[in-house]
Structure 1
């Protein structure tokens, strides 16, 4: 299995959305964008993916300009193309066309020197779903504490 180094994880996405499916996609980046992302200088809190003219695009990803860059520095908020196979794109299109599904970036990581992204097919949670998720998380934490005390 290939070595993975996590750059960032979207914890809020797991709270806001019910993740139905995930897909690993590549990202087309410019040189200074790669350097900034390796340093962790990016934000994807409001990012999402869209299918535009048979291509997958990431919208809302903000990559801070590279501090040692020059006039060839990148635009921080430009749309970035995502790479996936045609059959995966068709499957995503069918899922997104269903009511309530959206494509949300879940995690950015390095894999074999390349920056990859875990893209989630998600459905928005209702308020009571969020409460149930928090309740289950708290119960699991309590069980873990009790197990540690018992040992």
Structure 2
């Protein structure tokens, strides 16, 4: 088993996803309704729709394997899923996008009257690494110092 800090390749993540149960019909319909509503309400780009769909389908398949469904998942299930992804090397940016997908999906379910609560509302955003500032070249430093004289 790899450590939590080991990053998985796309191919390895696909292998993990293949080990999950197939997507259930109820979850597929719920995801389809959400994607349609999100496109109608916000005009989401095709790439965003596809990313949301992939994120939600993987969660739904994981929930089915863990004994539940997507619409009925509670906060604890979402936390366990995020921990599972972390343990399997999903990168922080990927988890940040997943969090956006979950927040949008469960907010939609609340607006549509399917749920009363939003289990994704309290998900903490993953800590994303901050890029280091770009170093100045020697000539840029010289120019900067010369401008201060």
What band does the TM-score fall into relative to the shorter chain?
Answer: under 0.3
Determine which structure has greater relative contact order: mean sequence separation of CA pairs < 8 Å that are 6+ residues apart, divided by chain length. 1
Question: Quick check: which one's helix share is greater?
Answer: 2
TM-score normalised by L of structure 2: 0.22
Higher strand share: 1
